[in-house]
Chain A
């Protein structure tokens, strides 16, 4: 399972766009990229998932360059309620939990949004 590297923390202000970049140099052909958000004392919440290029949903955008060795989660116009830990995960979805690898979380990026 590809290892990921993210910044430990980031600060932002309300209304700004926040971009969190994740490095995954050893990503495999079958690997997908998934981002989760976690608030204190709650379970992780799925944000977005993608394989290549750009994916957008109502919450965020995910940018994946052609070499797929990194990905960037983009949160438009953050608010105080976006203060949370954001996790980047890379893995073969078909083998999540299987003998080829499990869903491996790092320490994530702690985003602090200030007024």
Chain B
């Protein structure tokens, strides 16, 4: 499968614990995005990377959230001291900018439940 993959697919944790999610983009894609989606809402942008550089962060991304993309390949999203409000689907997408066109391809998501 050459699509975007995310691990784990599901995560249950207790409030106050740290969690880390991984995203493996499509191999030749230079851009990688993280989104959060809650029930009944569309995905909300969190942050994105171009290669290894993190170029934009949403104000939704509190100090408890950190993302990395070492060597411009896979990316990790860490949430520290999780809160119940962090429960959501975390989506990763990747894209390859080609001229004026860019299409983001999404992974299956990681569903987080904070108890």
Give the interface SS of chain B, mostly helix, strand, loop or mixed. strand
Minimal beta-carbon separation of B1 from chain A (angstroms):
13
* A:37-54 near B, CB below 8 Å: 41-46, 49
Minimal beta-carbon separation of B62 from chain A (angstroms):
17
Select from chain B the residue with minimum beta-carbon distance to A99: B56
Most B CB contacts (10 A, CB to CB) among A97, A106, A108 go to A97
Q: Provide the residues of chain B in CB contact with A78, threshold 8 Å.
A: none
Report yes or no: B42 in contact with A97, Cβ–Cβ below 8 A: no
Q: Is A60 an interface residue (CB 8 A)?
A: no
Q: Is A105 an interface residue (CB 8 A)?
A: yes
Whole-angstrom CA separation of A103 from B93 in the bound complex: 11
Report yes or no: B108 in contact with A49, Cβ–Cβ below 8 A: no
Cβ 8 A contact of B109, one of A43, A96, A106: A43
Cβ 8 A contact of B101, one of A43, A93, A105: A93
Q: Is B103 an interface residue (CB 8 A)?
A: yes
Report yes or no: A103 in contact with B55, Cβ–Cβ below 8 A: no
Q: Is A107 an interface residue (CB 8 A)?
A: yes
Q: Is B40 an interface residue (CB 8 A)?
A: yes
Residues of B within 8 A of A (CB): 4, 31, 33, 35, 40-45, 48, 55-56, 58, 89, 91-93, 95, 97, 100-109, 111
Instruction: With A94-B100, A96-B95, A96-B104 given, name 6 new contacts (CB 8 A).
Output: A32-B101, A46-B103, A49-B101, A97-B55, A102-B58, A105-B43
